[in-house]
């Protein structure tokens, strides 16, 4: 086993803020980083996303099959990527490329997804996509009403066996 350097490491601190719940948000990218996934060895782009309602982190696997999600935060933040932004020899972004995201606003879609991890079923809250901030409608930088999937313009569904009551205007015979 290799020697550890306990004297030159900072203690890890857990996230203590409010995590964004499922919905659609306009957020600011406050930090970026990259790391290699322990399981696959693939590069991951890490994004810290915050607004006044909370924060969430996203880990985006940088693979050819996932390239559309990799470029999405850049495109939605108004940043054009070129082939020169990638170091093919090292298999990582050129220095400073991901830092261009810091301070930019993007729209995000947050959902709960279930998966199996080490044989156990679990539900994770995660960023499933990026949008331009103007695509997020609603008040302020927060959660959009109706983001649960319900269309606020449509009437609520009646429970089985219930009957709708006609309004006074609907009973007028003309």
pLDDT of residue 17: 76
* Cα–Cα distance, 17 to 13 (Å, whole number): 12
Q: pTM to 2 decimals?
A: 0.70
Find residue 127's DSSP bridge partners: 110
pLDDT of residue 6: 81
pLDDT along the chain (174 residues), means of 10: 74 78 96 92 95 95 93 96 93 95 97 90 94 80 40 35 39 37
The CATH T-level fold of domain 14-135 is OB fold (Dihydrolipoamide Acetyltransferase, E2P) (2.40.50)
pLDDT of residue 50: 95
Are the C-beta atoms of 81 and 74 separated by less than 8 Å?
yes
pLDDT of residue 117: 83
Query: Which residues have CB under 8 Å from 35's CB, separation 6+?
Result: 43, 44, 46
Q: Which two tokens stand for residue 74?
A: 């850049």
Residue extents of the structural domains in the chain = 14-135
């Amino acid at each position: 086993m290799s020697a550890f350097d306990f004297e030159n490491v900072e203690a890890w601190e857990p996230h203590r803020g409010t995590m964004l719940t499922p919905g659609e948000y306009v957020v600011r990218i406050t930090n970026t980083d990259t790391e290699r996934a322990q399981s696959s060895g693939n590069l991951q782009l890490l994004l810290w996303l915050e607004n006044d309602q909370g924060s969430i982190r996203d880990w985006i696997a940088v693979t050819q099959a996932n390239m559309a999600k990799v470029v999405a935060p850049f495109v939605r933040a108004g940043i054009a990527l070129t082939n020169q932004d990638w170091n093919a020899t090292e298999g990582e972004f050129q220095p400073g490329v991901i830092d261009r995201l810091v301070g930019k606003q993007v729209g995000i879609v947050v959902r709960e997804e279930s998966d199996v991890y080490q044989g156990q079923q679990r539900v994770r809250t995660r960023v499933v996509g990026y949008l331009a901030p103007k695509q997020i409608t609603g008040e302020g930088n927060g959660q959009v009403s109706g983001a649960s999937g319900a269309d606020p313009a449509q009437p609520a569904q009646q429970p089985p066996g219930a009957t709708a009551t006609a309004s006074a205007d609907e009973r007028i015979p003309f």
